[in-house]
């Protein structure tokens, strides 16, 4: 009859130990899950850092492009203003030439002198027209430069917007992963607590069993 309680205690002790060992085995998947989630979290965080670095560099390029575009547009305006001034001078000289030509046609006695003045005006007008042509060529080059800069600016804006969208998505993933890690760690803590209780119970039952066995 005395052996029965001791045997019962020993049985409970073995059961507690088996349950504790099973708990240790069930704890490992949680640890593996935490490692996996933490690796995903680190990867997402690193990717966000890379994307933000790219965005910073692209913003610098965008600022530089905007400055270049502004300078090119200012240059174009300056060239156009210069052309307008040159055309105004050409009109004035052409008006003077027309007046001199009229005087020659009217049979003025100083026709040779008038013709020299007309020739001089023709030279000035030709020079001014060449300057206008040169500036018009420069404007065409500026227009091509401005078009390229506008295209670059648009492409940079699209790329930056896309990267910012990716960052926002990844930040949402990071937040979700952080919640999942917290939940898994909470589950691990619960399992650890249960294991502690079971192990403590196993030790107590074992002590009680050995004590009764000695009696």
pLDDT by residue (tens digit) across 151-160? Answer: 999 999 999 9
pLDDT at 34 over 80: no
- Which CATH class, in words, describes the domain spanning 3-214? mainly alpha
How confident is the model at residue 173, as a pLDDT? 83
> Which is nearest to 73 in space by CA: 153, 146, 125, 182?
146
Angle between helices 3-105 and 111-214 (to 10 degrees): 180
Could you tell me if 139 and 79 are in contact, meaning their C-beta atoms sit under 8 angstroms apart?
A: yes
pLDDT by residue (tens digit) across 128-140? Answer: 999 999 999 999 9
CA 155 to chain CA centroid, Å, is: 12
Cα–Cα distance measured from residue 29 to residue 25, given in angstroms and rounded to the nearest whole number:
8
Could you tell me if 201 and 9 are in contact, meaning their C-beta atoms sit under 8 angstroms apart?
A: no
How confident is the model at residue 130, as a pLDDT? 97
How confident is the model at residue 88, as a pLDDT? 97
pLDDT at 1 over 50: no
Mean pLDDT of 21-43: 65
pLDDT by residue (tens digit) across 80-134? Answer: 999 999 999 999 999 999 999 888 888 766 888 888 999 999 999 999 999 999 9
Helices (H), strands (E): how many in the chain? 2, 0
Cα–Cα distance measured from residue 82 to residue 174, given in angstroms and rounded to the nearest whole number:
58
DSSP assignment string, 136-197: HHHHHHHHHHHHHHHHHHHHHHHHHHHHHHHHHHHHHHHHHHHHHHHHHHHHHHHHHHHHHH
pLDDT band at 2 (very low <50, low <70, confident <90, very high): very low
CA 16 to chain CA centroid, Å, is: 57
């Amino acid at each position: 009859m005395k052996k029965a309680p001791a045997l019962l205690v020993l049985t409970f002790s073995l059961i507690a130990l088996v349950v504790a060992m099973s708990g240790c085995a069930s704890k490992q998947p949680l640890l593996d899950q935490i490692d996996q989630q933490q690796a995903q979290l680190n990867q997402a965080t690193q990717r966000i850092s890379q994307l933000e670095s790219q965005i910073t560099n692209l913003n610098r390029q965008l600022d530089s492009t905007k400055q270049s575009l502004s300078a090119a547009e200012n240059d174009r305006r300056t060239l156009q203003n210069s052309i307008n001034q040159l055309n105004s001078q050409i009109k004035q000289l052409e008006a003077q030439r027309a007046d001199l030509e009229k005087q020659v046609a009217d049979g003025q006695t100083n026709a040779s002198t008038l013709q020299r003045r007309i020739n001089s005006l023709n030279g000035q007008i030709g020079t001014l027209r060449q300057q206008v042509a040169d500036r018009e060529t420069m404007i065409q080059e500026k227009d091509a430069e401005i078009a390229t800069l506008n295209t670059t600016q648009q492409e940079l804006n699209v790329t930056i917007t896309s990267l910012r969208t990716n960052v926002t998505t990844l930040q949402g993933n990071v937040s979700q992963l952080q919640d999942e890690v917290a939940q898994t760690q909470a589950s691990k803590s619960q399992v650890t607590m249960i294991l502690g209780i079971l192990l403590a119970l196993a030790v107590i039952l074992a002590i009680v069993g050995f004590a009764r066995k000695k009696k």
